[in-house]
Amino acid sequence: MKTWAVILGGTALLAGAAMVLTASNPLDAEAVAQPAPAAASAYDFTMTAIDGKPMPFAQYRGKVLLVVNTASFCGLTPQYEGLQKLHAQYAPRGFTVIGVPSGDFMGQEYDDNGKIKEFCETKFGITFPLTERVSVKGPNAAPFFRWAKTQLASNNEPQWNFHKFLVGRDGRLIAGFSSRTSPESPDVKAAIERALG
């Protein structure tokens, strides 16, 4: 009797999984099949700045970049302060933080780019460049993030707000740091120092 219960329970789980797959948006299945963009470096990507102007990463060629998906209403939002300090400290040596606002994780970002910009500038005095709000995870992620996910041996798709991607002067991805890693942690600073040479 117990054996049949286990078999029937397993069958129910499989049937439930099939129902979930059937109910999902058919566009999602198509999007999942899309490969990561073919690119030689981060400089091959263009995003849109928070003010609506094109932001080609090629304009940062030769610099070290820290690309971070950000959010205004997250418990980790105070990391903006550390990111601004890093930007101010290392900018004279050829370093730039790029903030990428996203509402992917529990909708913890404004829907309006103007409000995001105002929040960042008034609350944290942010002077580093910000992109418009985009998706950073899954099949609808901005092309840079889909590419970055494929560049490192470990899984470096953002799992939460404030995931950090370090890009070297040659535009290649050097490292990824989890959300919980402070911008001013010894690991992040050491990696930046090595990248700057």
- For 37-89, the pLDDT digits (tens) are 677 899 999 999 999 999 999 999 999 999 999 999 999 999 999 999 999 99
The predicted model gives 30-37 an average pLDDT of 48
What was the pLDDT predicted at 32?
Answer: 41
Split at pLDDT 50, 70, 90, the class of 35 is low
* Same domain as 26, residue 101: no
* Same domain as 89, residue 172: yes
Task: Count up the domains in the chain and report the number.
Answer: 2
- Higher local confidence (pLDDT), 155 or 114: 114
* Same domain as 137, residue 113: yes
* Same domain as 184, residue 95: yes
Whether 120 is catalytic: no
What was the pLDDT predicted at 3?
Answer: 44
Q: Whole-prediction pTM value?
A: 0.81
Beta-bridged to residue 55, according to DSSP, are 47
- Given a cut of 80, whether residue 152 has pLDDT beyond it is yes
- Higher local confidence (pLDDT), 16 or 157: 157
Question: Of all residues in the chain, what percent are helix, strand and coil, respectively (each to 5)?
Answer: 40, 15, 45
What CATH number does the domain containing 136 carry? 3.40.30.10
The predicted model gives 15-26 an average pLDDT of 35
CA angle 183, 72, 166 (to 5 degrees): 30
Beta-bridged to residue 165, according to DSSP, are 67, 176
Report the distance separating Cα 161 and Cα 57, nearest Å: 21
Q: Return the structure tokens found at 115.
A: 């409000």
pLDDT tens column, 124-136 = 999 999 999 999 9
What was the pLDDT predicted at 30?
Answer: 36
Which of these is catalytic: 39, 42, 74, 188? 74
* Same domain as 92, residue 14: no
Q: Are 128 and 96 in contact (CB under 8 A)?
A: yes
- Given a cut of 70, whether residue 36 has pLDDT beyond it is no
* Same domain as 88, residue 168: yes
Q: Are 147 and 43 in contact (CB under 8 A)?
A: no
What was the pLDDT predicted at 147?
Answer: 94
- Supply the range of the domain harboring residue 136: 37-196
Q: Which residues of 154-190 are buried (b: 16+ CB within 10 A; e: fewer)?
A: eebbbebbbbbbbbbbebebbbbbebeebbeeeebee
Report the distance separating Cα 173 and Cα 163, nearest Å: 14
What was the pLDDT predicted at 5?
Answer: 42
DSSP run (H or E) holding 168: none
* Same domain as 147, residue 53: yes
What was the pLDDT predicted at 156?
Answer: 80
